[in-house]
Structure 1
């Protein structure tokens, strides 16, 4: 098994276990930071608890039960598609950044599922998965992640002052890093869409996000463990590291 495949799955699973804990604390399904449910919807608490438990079980399967990894990844994808994406679409223009992030997390689960599938694998009885479908899942996942990365790179230029203030004061040349990482985000997004550059783009993007996780998200979380946004950012960044590590490995297979 290539070096980054299992670590990527473990990182991805741990990130979703963290998100499931935040779902319990928030008493809602908050993967992708969707807008609040309408006031008339009274089942958000029960939904948050139930989906959190299922997320934990799915994450454990991804980490430890290879035969169930594809089904577990697709279960998470289903939750995001049904419980987060529609809520974002209603208020897309008010929070397009998190809407794209939600789509990227959805895409990441498709990539993760594709990493477990082999030709003629059966996830649902009677529905064997063939190579063209697996490639379509991975390609779709790459497109969704790419849209988020490119839009995030654009945001580094449009909201440069905000991004610069987000960078801890102990990091020098914050203005430079704001624009440089914006360029890297755009390049990474474009790179994972092109099959010939997918592997290096995914690997470099994975290590870039890992750097942010260590240098930005952990210190911000430690400084204020009760900040909801920083707690989510900690888990989300870790998940994307796992997605990119896995993508960098399976890209070799899918390019053949």
Structure 2
């Protein structure tokens, strides 16, 4: 089980590093991280670059490839989870509820928010799994770990279930993404939806 957890942490950390590198390269926030609101965050590339550097550093710490005395992997994951959750609350929700010009009843408009919700959930699950490796210092620590694990699972599972549902709602579009050589595109779109749910 430890090998599986370690592998998961490495892949999660590498994904965070990749998003950080993308932000540095394009010198802007990925829409999954910050939507067009607030606009000032996109006008000054220093914000995206600083965020990208922070994501790279925290991603490297999460993988466990580099040991940092002042920040262990559990703390790095916790920071990432809080960062992503705060961006959902302060950027994604206001953008979708007050600025976004399209109907919110379409599941597709929530895609970027849901991706960030999965990032946050993954971070909280990683935090809880890393806290399992450390001896508890108080009863409160177990409670915090359990709450983080529950929140992380709910965040991540919500995203997966809604993405799975979108395979049914938008099947004609999703089936176009299936390579022609694979055949039975509608079947594979439905199959992917079932697998995600």
Q: Same fold (TM over 0.5)?
A: yes
Counterpart in 2 of 1:36?
Answer: 36
Q: Is the 8 A contact 1:31 1:80 kept in 2?
A: no
TM-score (norm 2): 0.81
Paired residues, number = 181
User: Is 1:89–2:93 an aligned residue pair?
Assistant: yes
User: Is 1:69–2:69 an aligned residue pair?
Assistant: no
- Choose between structure 1 and 2 for higher RCO, CA contacts under 8 A separated by at least 6 residues: 1
Counterpart in 2 of 1:157?
Answer: 168
Deviation, structure 1 residue 31? 6.7
Distance in 1 separating the partners of 2:130 and 2:115: 23
Q: 1:113 to 1:173 in 2, by over 3 A?
A: same
Q: Secondary structure at the match of 1:120?
A: coil
Q: Is the 8 A contact 1:85 1:102 kept in 2?
A: no
Pairing 1:1-256 to 2, within 5 Å after superposition: 2-30=2-30, 32-41=32-41, 44-64=44-64, 65=67, 68-92=72-96, 93=104, 95-117=109-131, 118-120=134-136, 130-186=141-197
Counterpart in 2 of 1:250?
Answer: none
TM-score (norm 1): 0.64
- Structure 1 unmatched ranges of 5 or more: 122-126, 187-256
Give the root-mean-square deviation of aligned CA atoms.
2.4
